[in-house]
Amino acid sequence: MDSSVADADRAARTWHGQAGGPERFRLGSEQHKTLFCRMLLDTFNPYKPAVIDWPKLDPDARERLVSLPIWDIAVQTEGKAKLRVATYGETVSDKLLKEAIALNGFEEGRHKDVLANMVHAYGIDLAEEPAYVKPRDPEWAFMVTGYSECIDSFFAFGLFELAKRSGFFPPALVDTFEPVMQEEGRHILFFVNWVAWHKRNMKWWRRPWFALKVLAVWAFLIWERIGIARGLGGAPDADNNFTVTGSKSVGIEVSTGELMDICLAENARRLAGYDPRLQRPNVVPRLVRFARRFMAKPKPVELGSTAHRDLFCEHFKTTYQHYEPDKLPWPELDEAALARLRSVPFWQEVLHTELRAGAIVKQFTETVDDPVLKEAIALQGFEEARHAELIRVMIKRYGIDVQEHALDPLPADIATAFKDFGFGECVDSFLGFGVFKIARQSGFLPESMFAIFDTLMYEETRHIVFFVNWMAYNEAQRGRAAGWRRGLTSLRFYIRALKRLVGTARRGAQINDGKEFSATQASVFLDGFTFRRFLEDCYAENARRMQEFDRGLLRPSFLPKLADVALSSLRLWSFRRNPA
C-alpha cells in the first residue's frame, strides 16, 4: 500500500477530540455536538473514485465478483442515501452540523461512484437506475438511512472479514474497498451521536413524538428485511446494501453464531479507534448478544491444536498495518510541546528495549521449524524493529538527547530470552496503556502526535495477544497443557519481568534526581497523579483494547486480575475510611 494512502487510512480510523477538553460532558451539549461533528470532518479520507487503480482479476475471481446478485441494489442504495442525507442537511441551520452532514452526503455519493466505477471496470451489467425522488420528510428519510446503515454495517463488517479470511476476494480488491467500509463505521458513529444530541435539543413536548418516530423507523426497517427474507420486497426499492442480500452469495460455510461473533468483534475493532466519549451504535450489538445466549456456543479451540495455531497466527497476519516511520505525518511542535516531549525521561530506555526486542525476535525466528509460526514470528520481529526505527525518527526529528548504544550479546538460550521478552512486553503494555491514556487526556502533546503513537500501541496489543497464545500453544506441544502448569510457568516469568521492571525503575531514579521512576513518568504527564487513578486507567484501557480481538484467542490475564484485586481492595479501604 502506498504510504500516503496508508497515512490517510490510519487518520480515518483513529481520532480523539481536542486534548485538554472535558473528560465528561452532557449529551446534547455544545461540546457533544462539536465532538461528533469534528470526528467526521477530521477523519475525512480524500481518495478519489475516478483514480482508483482497480486490480486485474483472474477469470475465477472475476466470475465470483460478477455473480453476486447485489450490485444493482448497492448502487441504488448509495444513490438514495446521498439524496436523503443532502436533503436533510438543507434543513439544518447550525453551521458546524450542516458542514458535517454535507460531508456525510458527499461520502455517500462517493460510495456510489466507487461501486459504479467498479462494475464498469469488471464489465458487470446493471439495471437502469430509477429517478431518485427528494423525500417529503427529510428527517424521516435521514433517520431511515442512518438506522439502516447501523444494521447493515454491523453485518457487513463481519462478512467483509469472512470474505477476507476465505480469499473470496483477492487481497488487492479487499484493500480497495477498505476505505469504504471504514467510512460506514464513521457514518454510523456520527448518526447515533446526532440522534442523542438532536432529541436533547428539542422542545420537551416534541420528544415523545420523536421517540415514536424512532420506533416507526425500526419497525419499517424490520418489516422491510422480513420481506427480503421471504423474497418479497427485495426489489431495488429496498433500503439495504449488500449485507442482507449478498450474505449467502459469499459462499463461506459458517454457523449463524460464528458469524455473530465475528460481526461483534469487527464492529468493536472498527469503532475502537475513535474518542471513547462518543456514543456507539448499541441496538444491533445488544440484540445480537441477547440472541447469542440462546445459541450453541462454539466449541473452544483446543490449546496446542493446529486450529489454535492457525487462529492466532492468521489473526496476527491479517491485522498487520503498513506504514513507514519516516513518512508518517509528524507534526510541527511549538516550543512548549517540544520541551515537554524532550523532558520525558524514558526515551533512552524505550529505544534500547525496542532494538533489543527486534534482535531477540529475529534470532528466535531462525530456531523455529514450523513454517506457519515462523512466518508470524518473523512479522513480529519486523514490527519490533520498525518500532525502534519509529523512535529513532522521532528522536532525530525533535532533537531529543538520546544516545544509541550497541546491544549486549544476546543470551545463548534464545528461547528463554524470547519468553522473557514476551512476558516483559505484557507488563510494559498494561502499564503503558494507562500512561498513554493519562498523557492523551492531559493534552501533554498535540493529538496528531498521539495518533501516531496509537498505531504503535495497537501493535503492542497485537504482540502480547499473539505471545500468550504462542506460549500456550508451545506449552501444550510439550505436554504442559493443564491450566495449573501453564499458570505456574507464567507466574515464574511474570516475577522475572517485574524484577527487571524494578531494575529499570532504579536506573530511572538515578537519571531523575533520585525520584521513583514510575512516579516521575506519570507526573510528567499529569499533575495530581494518584496510584489508584493510574491503576484504574491501566485496567480500563487494557479491557477496551482487548475487546476488539477474536474471542477464541487467549488474552494476558495475570496483571488485569491482579489490578482487579488491588482496585477492589482500594475501594473497600476508601469506603471504610469515608463511610457514607
358-372 average pLDDT score: 95
Instruction: Please report which confidence band the pLDDT of residue 574 belongs to, taking 50, 70 and 90 as the band edges.
Output: low
pLDDT at 394 over 80: yes
d(CA 414, CA 421): 10
Instruction: Please report which confidence band the pLDDT of residue 134 belongs to, taking 50, 70 and 90 as the band edges.
Output: very high
350, HSE (Cβ side, Cα atoms, 13 Å): 21
Residue 311's CB: how many other CB atoms inside 10 A?
A: 17
Instruction: Please report which confidence band the pLDDT of residue 229 belongs to, taking 50, 70 and 90 as the band edges.
Output: low
Say which amino acid occupies 126.
L
Least confident of 143-147, 416-420, 440-444, 539-543: 440-444
Among candidate residues 360, 355, 372, the one with its CA nearest the CA of residue 310: 372
- Cell 466505477 sits at which residue? 117
Say which amino acid occupies 573.
W
Residue 209's CB: how many other CB atoms inside 10 A?
A: 9
Cβ atoms of residues 51 and 223 within 8 Å:
no
Residue length of the chain:
580
294-312 pLDDT per residue, tens: 887 767 788 889 999 999 9
Say which amino acid occupies 313.
C
Helix (H, G, I), strand (E, B) or coil at 274: strand
End-to-end CA gap in the chain = 58
Instruction: Please report which confidence band the pLDDT of residue 520 belongs to, taking 50, 70 and 90 as the band edges.
Output: very low
109-123 pLDDT per residue, tens: 999 988 888 888 888
Instruction: Please report which confidence band the pLDDT of residue 228 belongs to, taking 50, 70 and 90 as the band edges.
Output: low
- 557 or 509, higher pLDDT: 557
Q: What is the mean pLDDT of the chain?
A: 83
Instruction: Please report which confidence band the pLDDT of residue 8 belongs to, taking 50, 70 and 90 as the band edges.
Output: low
**Rg, the chain, Cα only:** 25
pLDDT at 29 over 80: yes
Question: What are the percentages of helix, strand and coil residues in the chain, rounded to 5?
Answer: 70, 0, 30
Question: 151: exposed, middle or buried (C-beta count within 10 Å: 0-12, 13-18, 19+)?
Answer: buried
Least confident of 34-38, 326-330, 350-354, 484-488: 484-488
CATH topology (fold) of 306-577: Ribonucleotide Reductase, subunit A (1.10.620)
d(CA 570, CA 572): 5
pLDDT at 372: 95
Least confident of 27-36, 261-270, 381-390, 466-475: 261-270
pLDDT at 50 over 90: no
398-410 pLDDT per residue, tens: 999 988 888 889 9
Phi, psi of 15 (to 5 degrees): -155, 135
- 13 or 474, higher pLDDT: 474
pTM of the model: 0.66
Among candidate residues 127, 140, 135, 154, the one with its CA nearest the CA of residue 240: 154
pLDDT above 90: percentage of residues in the chain: 38
CATH topology (fold) of 29-292: Ribonucleotide Reductase, subunit A (1.10.620)
d(CA 34, CA 24): 13
Please state the separation of Cα 476 from the chain's center in Å.
30
Whether 306-577 and 29-292 are alike in CATH topology: the answer is yes
d(CA 148, CA 146): 5
pLDDT at 250: 53
Least confident of 41-45, 233-237, 308-312, 464-468: 233-237
User: Three cell numbers at 142?
Assistant: 435521514
Q: Where are the domains of the chain?
A: 29-292, 306-577
- 284 or 513, higher pLDDT: 284
14-25 pLDDT per residue, tens: 788 765 555 678
- Which CA distances in Å does 48 have to 41, 195, 274? 17, 30, 24
pLDDT at 484: 73
Cβ atoms of residues 337 and 445 within 8 Å:
yes
